[in-house]
Structure 1
Amino acid sequence: SSSSSSSPAAPPPPPAPAFPHNVPTPALVAAGALALALGAKAILDKPSRAYVQGPGGDSIGTVGEEYDAWTEEGILEHYWGEHIHLGYYTDEDMAKGAGTLLGCRVKDFVEAKFDFVDKMLEWSGCPPNPAMVLDVGCGIGGTSRHLAKALGPKSKVQGITLSPNQVQRATELAATQGVDNASFRVMNALEMEFPDDTFDLVWACESGEHMPDKKKYVEEMIRVLKPGGTIVIATWCQRETPPAFTDEEKANLKFLYEEWAHPYFVSIEEYVRLMEGTGSMATVGSANWVKETIRSWRHSIWVGVWDPWPVVFAGPRIWYKTIREIVTLERMHRAFDCDLMTYGMMKGTKAAAAPAAAAAAKE
């Protein structure tokens, strides 16, 4: 028989990579999760809402826009209630686990804010029944209305904020609650339109953080305070220096400045120096309320765990924003916990006008 010639056989294909068969599936999942986590961390570690001065060098631009957006979304009001500030926690509250998953069912998150207002008023030493009260940075008016109710109808409470949306919402809530002795205006706290010596009590709760000129902020509040009147300030502060901030502390502060539109923080001691530096104060006092307020940060996260649906149904933009808020809340907790941040409470009484000055003013 005849044989036919044939071409040489093709070389066998290279073996398939062994990687998928040799690496366990859980390890692949873990590696993917780690990569996603690192990517997310890189995004979340980069602050997204830096403070930008308004055209007049004030804080109207960024801060007013942020609070307008928060008010319009309604998410902040749903979880934080009418008060956009930290709450007050006693030793008994802490023993019950306030600020933990189960503890947030023991201490009501919103009620803690009312407690804070009551404790702040008590601590201020303000004489009873101040006729004219100014709430600097009033938000949607929760504190203004609470003070108006607590002090009685003879006390007139004026709230000011940079956010038109907040003024609208505050006015709506006052009408709904039948609070006739509280009113609200859009006004820059650094350039207040009130005459000198107008208010018996000037109240500022967590508004100083947004002020680009702390000296002017303090001076304006004391300017509109009547002689013999009381000023009380609650605000987030950074620790006093020296010792100088480490590089890690500087990085942490930079994030806290630039994520929630803060120009900068100052120390409790600096606020005291600013108040005394006006030359108008008869007395000035201060305290650090970190112990009383720090539980608020994690408590605010847990209330969202118990009631996630407003965020779930709000859509991807709010999901992303909420994740950023959770990260920032935790970073705030850690900054206060390690003494990088302090919770400043400052109070004082304005000196009575000298007889000659009082007579000249009447003329």
Structure 2
Amino acid sequence: MNTLFRTTESPFLQYLNQPSTSDRRRRISSLPVRIGLGRSTRTGLAKTTTRMMASSSSAATETVGREVLKKGIADFYDESSGIWEDIWGDHMHHGFYNPDVQASISDHRSAQIRMIEESLSFAGVPDSLKKPKSIVDVGCGIGGSSRYLARKYGAQCQGITLSPVQAQRAQALAAAQGLADKVSFQVADALQQPFPDGQFDLVWSMESGEHMPDKKKFVSELARVAAPGATIIMVTWCHRDLSPSEDSLKPEEEKLLNKICDAYYLPAWCSAADYVKLLQSLSLQDIKAADWSQYVAPFWPAVIRSALTWKGLTSLLRSGWKTMKGALAMPLMIEGYQKDLIKFAIITCRKPK
């Protein structure tokens, strides 16, 4: 597996490091003041007020956009999680496959378990003496990873999701499986986690990073809630790394990603190298990244086949438009992988002790 370190700063990171601006800045030529201010003072006040208004407008627009995105994500998973569970079980993520062996239908759920185990192995999370005792599952879905990790390590695990339906179902499954004392779930924003600093020995994010509109804030929150010495694991969708001669993706690549974003309520994509750069900026240690795209190749074709079964079709017809739109976009994901545009990446690190 190739590591994906690249030190060249991408346009994504250049954007993150720029001060906030707005192209809707209003010109203010004068201020209605009643006290005697000199012209230079009035000009300075006008410029200051212009900047403040532009900054306020930009911040307000950004806040509204993020709230709309959050609601879209919550509604999408409220609507589609039941269908997914009915067909695929309680692990709402890719499976890890042997690229040299054709996957059978019965292998898909076990491949999802292999994804968890391979991720733990890649990150070097121990099974014995120093195994994690407290875990957070960021973007927990209906709690499949949370329950698996709680059983594996005998750990306390807390999951967060934007979807009230997912949180309720995750808690019900935990109770049914005798894990109510080990795992708990709540509706919360991954960019503002409801946990104190340094609480968790293992910070787990399985395919949730692609939904985060502020990647810098996202990884900062993962690092904040991690205890000293804790492991952080992110498995997420990325776009390909840019070459040193590129400033951006190609227009046709951007067009394809935008279609996928519209279907799955995703903000702008970034690369694994961008994530590595962000982790480095936080002084995290033992940073590793790899492209696992070849190991997940059978996943989306399998999802499409499951959707085309009688059970899948009838479930889709009973669902809402958001789920239908997501189903129609599945071939776009396959196209993205085939063109080496979409990368399935794992990025891990450790918080210094």
Query: The residue matched to 2:137 in structure 1 has which SS?
Result: strand
Q: Distance in 1 between matches of 2:175 and 2:270?
A: 37
Find the aligned partners of 1:54 and 1:66 in 2 and give their Cα distance: 20
Letter in 2 for 1:65: D
CA distance in structure 1 between the aligned counterparts of 2:257 and 2:318, rounded to whole angstroms? 26
1:224-263 matches, within 5 Å, as: 224-242=225-243, 243=246, 244-263=248-267
SS of the residue corresponding to residue 89 of structure 1 reads coil
State percent identity of aligned pairs: 36
Q: Deviation of residue 53 (structure 1)?
A: 7.1
2:164 corresponding residue in structure 1 = 164
Residue 76 of structure 1, aligned match among 64, 78, 84: 84
Distance 1:315 1:88, change over 3 A: closer
Q: Deviations over 1:203-239 (max 9, x none)?
A: 0010011101000000000011011110010000001
Work out the CA distance in 2 between the residues paired with 1:310 and 1:274.
40
Q: Deviations over 1:35-55 (max 9, x none)?
A: xxxxxxxxxxxxxxxxx9764
Q: Which residue of 1 is the match for residue 23 of structure 2?
A: none
CA distance 1:228–1:331, change in 2 (3 Å) = same
Which residue type is aligned with residue 63 of structure 1?
Answer: I
Distance 1:138 1:191 in 2: 15
Match of 2:306 in 1: 303
Count how many residue pairs are aligned between Structure 1 and Structure 2. 285
Contact 2:264 2:326 (8 Å CA) reproduced: no
Superposed counterparts of 1:203-352, under 5 Å:
203-242=204-243, 243=246, 244-279=248-283, 281-305=284-308, 307-312=309-314, 314=315, 316=317, 318=319, 324-352=325-353
Counterpart AA for 2:74: G
Query: What's the offset of the Cα at 1:56?
Result: 8.3
Matches of 2:264 and 2:286 in 1, distance apart? 33
Alpha-carbon spacing, 1:201–1:265, altered in 2? closer, same or farther (3 Å) = same
Q: CA deviation at 1:327?
A: 3.4
Unaligned runs of at least 5 residues, structure 1: 1-51, 99-103, 353-363
Whole-angstrom distance in 2 between the partners of 1:319 and 1:223? 37
Match of 2:143 in 1: 141
Say if 1:319 and 1:203 are closer, same or farther in 2 by CA, change over 3 A: closer
Give the counterpart of 2:134 among 132, 135, 146. Answer: 132
2:47 corresponding residue in structure 1:
none
Task: Report the counterpart of residue 186 of structure 1 in structure 2.
Answer: 187
What is the SS of the residue equivalent to 1:194?
Answer: coil
Partner AA of 1:111 in structure 2:
S
**Equivalent-residue separation in structure 2 for 1:133 and 1:116 (angstroms):** 17
TM-score, L = length of structure 1: 0.74
C-alpha RMSD of matched pairs (Å): 2.1
CA distance in 1, matches of 2:324, 2:156: 40
How far has the Cα of 1:345 moved from its partner? 0.5
Q: Which runs of 5+ in 2 are unaligned?
A: 1-60
The equivalent residue for 1:123 is 122
Q: Are the structure 2 counterparts of residues 214 and 320 from structure 1 closer, same or farther at C-alpha, using a change threshold of 3 Å?
A: closer
Correspondence 1:25-104 to 2 at 5 A: 55=64, 57-58=66-67, 59-71=69-81, 74-91=82-99, 94-95=100-101, 97-98=102-103, 104=104
SS in 1 for 2:329: helix
CA contact (8 A) 1:157 1:182 kept: yes
The amino acid of 2:292's aligned partner reads: W
Asked which structure has the greater CA Rg, the reply is: 1
Instruction: Look up the SS of the partner of 1:90 in the other structure.
Output: coil
Q: Which range is displaced more, 227-236 or 330-339?
A: 330-339
Question: Structure 1 residue 283: deviation in Å?
Answer: 1.8
Tell me the alpha carbon deviations over residues 99-123 of structure 1, each in whole angstroms, 9 at most, x when there is no partner: xxxxx33x52222111111111121
Q: Which amino acid aligns with 2:170?
A: A
CA contact (8 A) 2:263 2:322 kept: no
